[in-house]
Amino acid sequence: MSAAKSMQPAPGADTSPDSYLPAHGNGGYRVTRYTLDLDYKVGPNRLAGHAVIEGVATAPLSRFSLDLAGFRIGRVQVNGQSAKYTQRAGKLHVKPQRALQPGAAFMAEIRYTGNPRPITSPDWGDIGWDELTDGALVASQPVGAPSWFPCNDHPSDKAAYRISVTTSSAYTVLVTGNLLAKRQGASTTTWVFERPEPTASYLMGVHIGRYEQLPLAAEPVPQAAAVPARLRRLFDRDFRRQPDMMDALEGFFGPYPFGEYVIVVTDDELDEPIEAQGLSVFGANLLDGRGTHERLIVHELAHQWFGNSLTVAEWKHIWLNEGFATYAEWLWSAESGGLSEDVHARRWHAALAGRPADLRIGDPGVANLFDERVYKRGALTLHALRKLLGDTVFFALLKDWTSRHRHATVTTADFVALAEQHAGRPLGEFFDAWLFTPALPPFPG
């Protein structure tokens, strides 16, 4: 048997069970922890990485695969022994010296170097590690994590992380996690972060730039920001209500699920804000000193509950992220003296009624994963459910939902079952009409 043929993965080993993105994610194991030591040179955009991946086999594994794109591999070891490997089509295929048995813990070490680049996708453009004018950022949803570290790139495989980044001391480093240490060298600084909560690979990020670090609030969790000096005055105006938003969303959804919340504002423009675990990123173009984009600020904060703590088990359940975060915009609007939830709902119902009725938001298809109708009709679904159940039952349901599935993965069926439990009656017809029927139901009530 040729060496190339012997390295072919077992059927299903290099795919996930996701019906939308089966090429991202891998079978036969789950990851429990990533330890990443990264050395990054900003000017040449050069990254050297040492990844230690701790996992547990869920099937007999004579070989397994990881998602990784565009790097040269220096060494691969499994359980301290050198392992054979091949690379192709965004996958690193690994053959350990000894097969892994179901239930066995293992440790894979990969050393890699290269110039990190975003992953190009036909539906969403370039995603992943990206150079800024003076620095770098990561925007990985939904398939960009392999652009900077080897991983099991599927939202259902959530793990803990410890990440150290060494770069020029002229730059500030923010990673999605708690800062544990900062070690100064002759010309470089090493920043060490820990993300103890189970975290999907697409929600991890590294952000490097010339930032001022600002405290925002100490309660109910530490809230801080990293902002270019030239944008400080605009930031102070646009984000002045950030602590009030945190208090309001805790009132609606229950306790904030992480130990910190950090906002990064890049010195570059971004098409959209970037969602990460315990952290949100905004482009300079979203600051104007007039609060024009405040709805985006609360939308990204809401993702800490819906998307980050509660992560979709498959991408087809994306309305559970975006519909809930959009409804948080409407809740904040009413809470802060703006338009009521009912006015927002009526306006969007009228707008959607004039659009093609060709999308089932409970299963929108991969090309429509981030279609605006998923966001707005998802929020309308929640408003209709609130009308049906009444405020007391509805908000008790939301708090139970975030508490029961804290740091876990969720499906639409999970939410329907819990809603029926709180309602005390079947709700199949309701959810079928709002989530799985293309035609828009009448405005609730």
pLDDT score for 12:
63
Instruction: Give the CATH number of domain 1-209; options: 3.30.460.10, 3.90.1150.10, 2.60.40.1730, 2.40.50.100.
Output: 2.60.40.1730
Place of tokens 């800024």: 132
CATH 3.90.1150.10 fits 211-304, yes or no: no
Enumerate the β-bridge partners of residue 192.
164, 181
pLDDT score for 445:
81
Binding-site positions = 299, 303, 322
Domain positions in the chain: 1-209, 211-304, 310-435
Binding-site positions for Zn(2+) = 299, 303, 322
294 belongs to the catalytic site: no
From 109, 275, 300, 329, active-site residue: 300
pLDDT score for 121:
86
Reported as type and span, the H/E element at residue 364 is: none
375 belongs to the catalytic site: yes
| Beta strand residue intervals within 69-116, DSSP E | 72-78, 81-82, 84-88, 91-95, 105-114
Are 129 and 61 within 8 A, CB to CB?
no
Reported as type and span, the H/E element at residue 426 is: none
How far apart (Å, rounded) are the C-alpha atoms in residues 260 and 258? 6
Q: How far is CA 264 from CA 173, 177, 195, 244, 404, in A?
A: 10, 13, 17, 18, 30
Q: How many CB atoms lie within 10 A of CB 97?
A: 12
pLDDT score for 28:
95
**Which phi and psi angles does 207 have, rounded to 5°?**
-135, 120
What is the full per-residue pLDDT of the chain (445 aa) written as tens digits?
233 333 334 446 789 989 999 999 999 999 999 999 999 999 999 999 999 999 999 999 999 999 999 999 999 999 999 999 999 999 999 999 999 999 999 999 999 999 999 999 888 889 999 999 999 999 999 999 999 999 999 999 999 999 999 999 999 999 999 999 999 999 999 999 999 999 999 999 999 999 999 999 999 999 999 999 999 999 999 999 999 999 999 999 999 999 999 999 999 999 999 999 999 999 999 999 999 999 999 999 999 999 999 999 999 999 999 999 999 999 999 999 999 999 999 999 999 999 999 999 999 999 999 999 999 999 999 999 999 999 999 999 999 999 999 999 999 999 999 999 999 999 999 999 999 999 999 999 8
Q: Give domain 310-435's CATH architecture.
A: Orthogonal Bundle (1.10)
**Is-above-0.85 flag for pTM?**
yes
From 171, 261, 327, 375, active-site residue: 375
Residues 6+ apart with CB under 8 A from 440: 349, 352, 353, 357, 377
